[in-house]
Each structure stands twice: as structure tokens, then as C-alpha cells.
Structure 1
Amino acid sequence: MARGVESRPGKRRCPARLQPVDARLSAQLQNKRVRVEGEVVRPGEYVLPADSSLADALRAAGGLTPLAYLFGTEFTRESVRVTQQENYERALRDLEVEFAKAAYTRKALTADEAAAQAASGTGSSVLIQRLREVRPTGRIVLQLDPAAPQLPALALEDGDRIYVPARPNSVGVFGSVFNGGSYLFGQGRTIDDFLKLAGGPTRGADAESVFVLRANGSVVSARQDGGWFGGGSLANLAAQPGDTVFVPEEVGKTSWVQNAKEWTQILAQFGLGAAAIKTLK
């Protein structure tokens, strides 16, 4: 499929039999203009035949470099970003309403309770504000195995972007831990090992909501299999290069938060990724 390609990494070539995207054709029949970046031999923008796949785009870009980390490939799509943004804004409005309802129904009987409720309300407002600063990226999570030799056979859409990063050598630990930061990856280490390197969760941590954002965009939560470290799913979970471990702060528990498991849902469904981690930490 990589034959007859208009490319723009260097010299431009566009054979007469393959014209750029023609808006008069149906989306299914149009050539696909895609951008391939990162650890490929010839990064750039390419116009590919209508039935091209992710693999065709990588071939057009000359294939992967020795430093490529295929597991961490970021595949973004504009139509997905628009949908994510709409749903994300709706979810934030719902979260804001639930926080407001919870604050209205709570009754403070003592000065200490009133102070605690005020602090909780302030924390909720700060959380909402920080989340509003983040924008969904349109990333589609490619359910790759860390050792996968190639990308899935997914058809391209016009405007798609493929970014193949270099293999990372660290694991990040952020949020309510004593010494958040990035730690050198070591083969055989678990997520629990990296949490210990960061000093473990603080007293104000929401221990039951700890999650891991993997380099491929997927999320692994301590809640998914029930329990918490010591018997939960993260205790012995093998770390992968590029993992980001996040320990949220304890916030007022509304029914929406409990049922939707807001941290993992926001990250997984709306494609926020590491940008959200950096904003919330």
C-alpha cells in the first residue's frame, strides 16, 4: 500500500495516478493524508490510498528506527477528539453538579466539621478547575502487548497522526506520595516497588483509587479487581517502561465519583493521558 505515495519528509513526489485528497469523493474512497512522526526513518506527512492501514503508514515512512518503542505508539484521530471533548465537558458538568449537591446536603454540627467541609469544597473546586485546563487529545488506545512486533490492522482516516516514541527508561510516580518524580526503570520491578521508591502514599491519599497509566494509553486501576496493595491487582503488577503511577488525593465521595470511578474513567475514556497527570499532581 505504500506505493504511489505523496510524501513531505524531503522531496515531494505525487504520481499522476494518485491525486491528493478529493473532497468530492465519499470518505471511504478518499485518499488518506496522515502524519507519521517520532522514531521512523522518514517522518513526515503522507497521502496514502483509501484502504491503507497503520502498517502501511509506517512502511511509507521507511519503517521504525532501532530506538522505537512500538508499545507506546500514540495514534490520534480528529473525529475521536471532537467526540471526546463533548463527552468530557458533559462529564465535568455532571461532576460539578454532584459536588455541589453533596456540599448542600452535608450538615456541620461543630466548628471542626464546618472547617473540614469548607476545605473539602475548596479541594473539589480546585480539582474541577484543573480538569478544565486539560483537553482530550483524540488518542485511540491500541491494545498492544508490550512485546508486539507490529501495530493492529486498523484502517486510516484522513488527518490521522501516528507518533512512535523512543523507548523510555523511567517510571513516573505522582500525586499524594512523599517523593514524587521519575525513577529509573529496572527489569523485574513491580508497581509496588516504585511506590516504595516514592515514599509510599501520604496520609491524605485515596489509596483505593491508585492507578497506572501505561505508555500505550491504557489504565490499570487498583479497583479493577477489588482490594488494594497487598492483595489487589497492583501489588505484583510488573512495571513497564513509560508507566505513570498516580495516587489521587482523598476528595469528597459523591455517588457519581464512587460509581464512575472518576480517575480511571476520565483518563481512559477521554484520552487525557500524561497531560492530566501533570496537571493534577
Structure 2
Amino acid sequence: MNKLRIILALVLFLFSCAFAQTTQGQTTTQSQTTVTGEIYFGRIAEPDKYILGVGDVIRIYLIQQAGEPISFDAVVSPTGAVSLPLVGSLKIAGLTLSEATKEISRRLIRFYPKSTIFIDLVYPRKFKIYVLGEVEKAGTQLISALSTLDDAIKLAGLKPSASLRRIQIKRGNKTIEVDYLKFLKYGDTSQNPYVEEGDIIYVPLMGKSVKVLGEVKDPGIYEIKEGEKLKDVLDMAGGLTEKADLFGSYIERQIDGNKQIISIDLLKLIYQKDDKENLELKDGDSIVIPLKVDKVYVIGYVAKPQVFTIVSGEFKNEVGGQSAIGESEIKEGAKISELISKAGGVLPNGSRRRVQVIRDGQVIKEVDLFKVLVKGDVEEEKVKLVPGDIVYVPLAEKTVKVLGEVKDPGIYEIKPGERIKDVIEMAGGFTVRADLKNITVERYITEKKEVIQLDLTKLYKEGDESVNIILEDGDIINIPIKTE
């Protein structure tokens, strides 16, 4: 009896070896015709997420402790199973690649003890989905199991009338609405989901839309959703080009057959984040962004914000037989301080220390008018203005008040780290009656007033910098009259 068992075991072992070799040879041939006949160029399959189905081709590697390594391909059959040597049929459809790896390894290790087993996806299955609606090739599409909505849309092709904002994926009893434009414009992968077998993709007609014309990076017709505004659409169009006119843009709207023109201040909308300029849009609106011309803009906290035309050579206006420059014109090469003066000067709450030159949306120069007008620093405003430049006077941030015996008492803007000596210089210096020994600085700290007593004779006569204190926002400097 024992001899019979030994003989049967030996026969089974030889049969299994022959079966494994035969299977390997068969699947190698199949691999050459089925798998390597079509090179896979798709996405990487994530083992923990990829769900196996009918038609998937997997490859099983057996690294034996003794003997040659074995590898063979297995195709998931229409019943959802793969055929394994010795093990037989094993259902893996519906399992992730990771789960299938564990199950196959668990079964094979009984017959190949002390072996290391690897399973890989050689080629993902293909299945049918349906793409309907506003597409060029409506109907059934054969697609890879690793394909996304984007792949399906590219196979079917979109009509000009197609909606990019409300594409529907019908999956069983569930409908998923996708804003495909967000994937195309912003790379939002959540709006490019993987497709599944049996999905019905429906592309509806475009809904409410507006037209964007002129100096944007991607002009065209854009579908809008409820609540979307001007800034949203400009972002969809890729934003402004460097040549966009920030002040000459407008919305053209038809109301009861009549054309209405609505001006847009793109500087306030985009650079100053003024939500009042972020207008609601209506179906059929045309947003027009013209090309900027030879103009420079002076805006912000100035008395008369305005647009200046740059002129070169002979000026346009003739006065008394001589060339003269107009009020709304500036000579090529004009300085920042000249433009500020022509715009009525800086308002009391405007910054004289941080006048900005903005070009193509970027601050290319910050000018300190104190250095220009008081210290005579010509290099400070050395910048050639070009068409489209914006000279912007922002709100003064940190200020101090200088009272008493200086030549020009008043409120002065300070920069971080500036000291009392700097501000005295801004105020024109002391008068002959100033009492340098009894200067006070009033400072408020959490609503509590602190008074700092200073003897500035130590600074001006002895060079003692210890009394040259750093000023803070809101300081009040009092310079009294000499009493002796």
C-alpha cells in the first residue's frame, strides 16, 4: 500500500511539472501574439486601486529556492477566473491587483513551497462604454480599463456646441456631473475620473455662455455657471496678455435688442482686488479687452488720477508758433515726479515713500519721492516709462507727526528702521528757535501713552547715536521753543 502511494505521488509530481512547463510554453506563445503584439502606453496601474476584470492579462512569477524561475501569463476568463497549474480555476474578477496577488500566492505556495511569488498586470483589458450627445462619433467606444473621461472624450470628439461644464457619467443608478473645463484649464484631476465598464457618458448642449475677445491668452466662447462672474471667465481665458488695456476694456450686452456698453476697470479688478468691479455676467455677453496704446496711467492717492499719452519729437499742440505739451500728454522720458505733479500731487493720506511703477502686472520700481525732491537723488526715479506703465500711489502705511519748531511741520511717512533724525530732515530741519534739549516723543502702546524725553544736542553736537531712536507708527514728535 505504501509503495502504491509513493508511485501515485511520483506520477502526480511528474504530471504537475509537465503541466507547468506546458502552460508556460503555451502562455509564452500567447504572450507573443496577444500581449506584446500591442504595446501599452497608458497610465500606471495602482495595485491597491486597479480592479481586475474579464480580459485582463496578468503574469505570474515563481522564484523557486531550488530550480529555474517559472513565469506564465494568465487571462481572466469570461467567468472571471484564471487557470493556475495544480490549483486549477481561481476567480479573481472584482479583486484589486493587490488582493489577487495575495490570493494567488496563498494558493500556489502550497505546491511551490519556499518560493517567492510575484504577480503583475501585463496588459489591461478593454471594454465598451457609450459616449452620447454633442460629440462627433456618438455611440460605443472600446476603451482601456485605465482610461479616464478625457480619453473617452478625445476618442469621441466634441462638437463646438458641446458643454464642457456639465458632462454626465451615468453609472448604474448613479449620475456623476463633471466640470471637464476645470481639468482642461486648471489640471483639476478630480474632474477627470476613471471610466468603468458600461458607463454612459452624456455630453449636453452648451448652456449660458459669454464671448471673450481681444488681449487674453485664450480668446473664445466660455460656458458659465450660475453665480460665475467676470474674474472667473477671465481666468478661464488664461488671464490677460501683457498688451491688454486695463482701462479701455468693456462688456457688450444686448438688452431688448439694444446694445449696452459697460466699462471695466481691470486694474481695480485684478491688481487691487476690488470686488465691486467683479461684475455679474449674462448669457450672450461679449467681454472685449483691447490692445493698450501709447498711454501711461497715474492712479491711486493723487489729487487728479488720469491717463497720459506719451508723445515724442514735435508735440501736437501749437502755442504762439512754438511746440507745447498738452495737459493729458507727457514727453517721452518724463520722470515719475513730473507725472505725480501733473496729476495734482500726492494726497495727504497717500504714500510719498513707496510710489510704484507697475509693468505687465509686476512692480518693477518703487520710488521714494523724499529722496528725489528733498535729497535731489536723481537715480531714485531713473526708470524709462513705456506704454501701458502704471504709476500707482498707494496709501501711506506708517506715519509720524512732527509739531513745533521745524521748517515744515506735518505728517510724514516712515519706512521700517527710520529714526528721528531722518524725520527731522524730512521736515526741513530745525528753526533757529528750536529747543533741542527738551524734545519729546509721544507714543501709544495698547492705548497707554508713553512720553520719551530726548536731548538731541547729544546727537547733533556730540554725535551720540543712542538718542537717535527708531520711530514707530503713530509717534508724535514735539520740538518746543527755547525758553532762555
Same fold (TM over 0.5): no
> TM-score, structure 1 length as denominator?
0.35
Determine which structure has the larger strand proportion and give its number. Answer: 2
> TM-score, structure 2 length as denominator?
0.23
Query: Relative CO higher for 1 or 2, CA cutoff 8 Å, sep ≥ 6?
Result: 1
